[in-house]
């Protein structure tokens, strides 16, 4: 773990599974954390951490929490596919409040983006090339669409205001993979913590996008900006291949696309969409 940053770090979504893991490990490493979530923090506060209950829709509350912070780990908001109206407030308006707070403080934003921003890309077949982070966005639902919005807001705030941001396209962050797809997309909790630590403490990031997955030989994903922050994953899903490698969904839509079960939610096409996002065939 790197030396704790000199300034406090704001962590939104602190009461969620990933937020709790980050709070626990970064707090144990001596980081000064300001935790916030719409629901109470369920664990004992780590040393040097404080918690304030806040709604991402309330911009003033977020600005106050961000005062004096050097970085914002933004893991708050709706974290699964939900109807548009449920995603709209926390994931779109809330993200605007995060970036306005970062602009005021000169803070770096580490944004928990998602593979669902590109979930309608098909899985690579055989020796086909893996997609790089400059691929076309192909969100697989309203949740994924909100992550596209988040990455593009980061791009705009960097271009217009010089707000540095690191966008983590998180694959599947769980204690261990649970099916064959996750052998490609899995991110261990330990690799997540190391990734966030590197993203906060790197001397410079600019606008960066990183495939947030462990060192999985079966990955769907290629080049990104990880060298810019000095992150290298240490864990691998291959440890679990014998356990989960044969677990498939049985749904052709789920198995065709990188987003897994999300593209299949309310899917109404009679034939698959084209592999090229702008093609008719």
Which residues are CB-neighbours of 122 under 8 A, at least 6 positions away? Answer: 256, 257, 258, 275
Phi, psi of 201 (to 5 degrees): -95, -10
- Hunting for tokens 């911009």 — which residue is that? 59
The answer to whether 155 and 208 have CB atoms below 8 angstroms apart is no
Does residue 143 have an active-site annotation?
yes
A 10 A CB-CB count for 14 gives 28
Q: What tokens does 204 get?
A: 């410079």
CA distances from 126 to 62, 130, 222 (A): 47, 10, 15
The answer to whether 178 and 244 have CB atoms below 8 angstroms apart is yes
The answer to whether 211 and 224 have CB atoms below 8 angstroms apart is yes
Cα 113 to Cα 214: distance, rounded to the nearest angstrom: 16
Q: Which residue out of 142, 143, 149, 257 is catalytically annotated?
A: 143
Which residues are CB-neighbours of 209 under 8 A, at least 6 positions away? Answer: 113, 133, 151, 166, 167, 169, 224, 225
CA distances from 172 to 110, 119, 169, 180, 187 (A): 17, 12, 10, 12, 6
- Hunting for tokens 């291959």 — which residue is that? 238
Catalytic residues, by residue number, are 143
């Amino acid at each position: 773990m790197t030396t704790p940053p000199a300034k406090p770090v704001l962590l939104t979504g602190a009461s969620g599974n990933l937020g709790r893991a980050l709070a626990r490990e970064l707090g144990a490493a001596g980081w000064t954390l300001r935790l916030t979530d719409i629901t109470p923090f369920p664990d004992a506060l780590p040393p040097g951490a404080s918690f304030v209950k806040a709604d991402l829709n309330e911009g003033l509350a977020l600005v106050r929490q961000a005062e004096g912070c050097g970085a914002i780990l933004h893991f708050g908001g709706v974290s699964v596919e939900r109807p548009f109206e449920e995603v709209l407030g926390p994931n779109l308006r809330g993200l605007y409040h995060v970036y306005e707070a970062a602009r005021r403080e000169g803070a770096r934003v580490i944004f928990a983006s998602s593979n669902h921003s590109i979930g309608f890309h098909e899985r690579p077949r055989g020796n086909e090339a893996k997609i790089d982070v400059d691929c076309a966005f192909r969100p697989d639902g309203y949740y994924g669409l909100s992550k596209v919005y988040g990455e593009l807001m980061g791009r705009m705030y960097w271009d217009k205001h010089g707000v540095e941001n690191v966008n983590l396209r998180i694959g599947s962050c769980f204690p261990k993979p649970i099916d064959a797809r996750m052998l490609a997309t899995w991110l261990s909790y330990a690799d997540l913590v190391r990734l966030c630590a590197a993203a906060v403490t790197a001397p410079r990031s600019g606008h960066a996008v990183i495939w947030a997955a462990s060192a999985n030989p079966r990955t769907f994903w290629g080049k990104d900006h990880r060298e810019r922050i000095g992150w290298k994953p240490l864990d691998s899903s291959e440890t679990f291949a014998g356990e989960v490698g044969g677990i498939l969904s049985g749904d052709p839509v789920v198995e065709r696309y990188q987003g897994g079960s999300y593209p299949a939610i309310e899917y109404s096409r009679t034939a698959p969409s084209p592999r090229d996002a702008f093609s008719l065939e």
